[in-house]
Structure 1
Amino acid sequence: MSTKETLRREAGTVEENAVRIDVEKAEQVIDALNTDLAATYVLYHQLRKHHWNVEGAEFEQLHDWFGDAAEDAEDNADDIAERVQALGGVPISGPSTLESHAPVEFEGEDVYDVRTSMEHDLEMYGDVIESVRDHVSLAEDLGDYATGELLRDVLEDLEDGAHEIEHFLEDDTLVLEEATH
């Protein structure tokens, strides 16, 4: 077994790819995908944080929802990263690199009430949706229809998540508020 370090691919570089997307076009798509990868991981971490910290009468339902939504984000991030690699690029992966590339900001370490947390999530979902939607068009304009299709699938998951949060935030509920005297 060799103990010699061998750099196989330098981060930020793009090489020829088997899917035959021109390297210059691939660079543009990879940059967009890495932005969406970063945004998806920030969303993932925020959802996971809310999964850990949710409390209240709807704990079980919301705990499960946050967990499932975080898993969906993680799956989407994996698909995006694998597409970056297929296009000849290197998916971004370090925490500081993800943070610097993300068009969204993590809400921080503080714990908020569930309604505020979900409002923050809805805002983040909306920002990520806008980014991914723009990148669907970019990929297809550059002739990368497979990336466009992948991002459409991601977009559908994101829109479903945002729509579900919207329902959770409605003011109609069966939970009774405790009367104050």
Structure 2
Amino acid sequence: MSTQKSVRKEFGDVEESELRLGQEKSEQIVDALNTDLADTYTLYHQLRKHHWNVEGAEFRDLHLFLGEAAENAEAAGDEIAERLQALGGTPVASMPNQAEMATVEPEDGNVYDIRTSLKNDLEMYGDVIESLRDHVELATNLGDHATAQILRDILVQTEEDAHHIEHYLEDDTLVFETSSE
């Protein structure tokens, strides 16, 4: 660990940027983006957990899908972090701060059957989607059309991944459950 003790910028401070959005507007958007960032990384970690632990007849497809979905969440997090930094903010990066700022509730550390895991993922996706929509509207109303567009692009991918989970949860399957009588 570094012995450097001088802080270059306090977390939570928003500096003026060359984007000319204005301090008050930038602060509102940075706060919203940090919430999105914390939520996105919470989703990322839950998807990775399920990617690592999936078993059963659909293992391969679900393992690959969950890996791709986690990569999509990671890419979204990177876009969000870079945008809020460009607005003069500091991305929420420490695990304790992310946990504190996240508005989504992660699954506990236990391993569940994949149907339960996917239902938990879908629930979190729904919360993330609602927040992204709210923040697209916030950015648009504050005149930050670039942030609104970035969030729209992330929203499209997030909704697509959630829709895939919906398909995995349908009852049409080649795998039959056997009764244990």
Give the alignment's TM-score, normalised by structure 1.
0.95
Q: CA offset at residue 178 of structure 1?
A: 3.4
1:24 corresponds to which residue? 24
Amino acid at match of 1:152: R
- Structure 1: which 5+ runs fail to align? none
TM alignment of 1:64-75, pairs within 5 A: 64-75=64-75
**Residue in 1 that maps onto 2:147:** 147
Quote the residue 1:106 is aligned against.
106
Match in the other structure for 2:60: 60
Q: Who is 2:35 aligned against?
A: 35
1:88-147 Cα offsets, whole Å, 9 max, x none, are: 000111111101111101101000000000000000000000001000000010010000
Supply the distance in 1 between the matched residues of 2:141 and 2:31 (Cα, whole angstroms). 15
Shift of 1:5: 4.1
- Report the secondary structure of 2:121's partner residue: helix
Structure 2 equivalent of residue 11 of structure 1: 11
Alignment size in residue pairs? 179
> Counterpart of 2:100 in 1: which secondary structure?
helix
Task: Let me know the Cα RMSD of the aligned residues.
Answer: 1.2
SS in 1 for 2:35: helix
Change (3 A) 1:4 1:96: closer
Identity of aligned residues (%): 60
- Give the counterpart letter for 1:119 in structure 2: K
Cross-structure match for 1:45: 45
3-state SS of the aligned residue for 1:111?
coil
Following TM superposition, by how much is the alpha carbon of 1:179 offset from its aligned partner in structure 2, in angstroms?
Answer: 5.3
Which residue is 1:177 aligned to?
177
SS in 1 for 2:17: coil
Quote how far apart the aligned CAs of 1:51 are.
Answer: 0.4
CA apart distance, 1:61: 0.5
Query: Which structure 2 residues correspond to residues 103-142 of structure 1 after superposition, within 5 A?
Result: 103-142=103-142
Q: AA paired with 1:22?
A: G
Is 76-85 or 168-177 further displaced after alignment?
168-177
Supply the AA of the counterpart residue of 1:166.
Answer: E
Paired AA for residue 112 in structure 1:
Y
Runs of 4+ that moved beyond 4 A: none
The alignment's TM-score, normalised by the length of structure 2, stands at: 0.95
In the alignment, which residue of structure 2 is the partner of 1:92? 92
Gap regions ≥5 residues in structure 2: none
CA distance in 2, matches of 1:103, 1:179: 40
